Amino acid sequence: MSISSIEDLSNEVFYEIFEYLDACEIYYAFSNLNYRFQQLINSSLLLLKLKLDDSQSEEIFINNYQQILHLNKGQIFSIHLWSSENTNQIISIFTIDSSFNCLESLVFYTIESNVLISLLPTLTCLPRLFSLTIETWSNIKDL
């Protein structure tokens, strides 16, 4: 069988490709292309990685990540947050709770200690959290 169209590829091939992409990239590239791709990206088999950082405009973040966070909490596998000035705003947009039932990895770079202190108690409700990486702005003694 020869493959003459991208749509001839199996779902498994697309899931492999999606492993290399951020959730926003997946949604931007494949959302609303057709019914099959919409089903693929909304499937519980697809685990998403979110990379949130200051390099994205606030509008991109609000429009894309907020929608992804709201609609796909149960599919999110990892969250990497690189932020300095907007950490409070980014964290306030989504509440970490047990609905993130697939979340296994959280990485916070340049997070301020006061934000970290308010965030840590919420992490106990994550049933599959296996990895937590934290890099703080301030001295760790301040915690």
Number of domains making up the chain: 1
The percent of residues in the chain predicted with pLDDT above 90, rounded, is 36
Range of the domain at 72: 47-142
pTM: 0.80
Answer yes or no: is 27 within a domain: no
Answer yes or no: is 89 within a domain: yes
Answer yes or no: is 6 within a domain: no
Pairing relationship of beta strands 76-82 and 48-53 according to DSSP bridges: parallel
Answer yes or no: is 90 within a domain: yes
Q: What is the pLDDT of residue 131?
A: 96
CB 116 within 8 A of CB 136: yes
| Average pLDDT in the chain | 82
Q: Per the structure block, which two tokens stand in for 111?
A: 């997070």
Answer yes or no: is 55 within a domain: yes
Lowest mean pLDDT among 41-45, 86-90, 116-120: 86-90
Q: Per the structure block, which two tokens stand in for 96?
A: 């970490």
pLDDT band at 136 (very low <50, low <70, confident <90, very high): confident
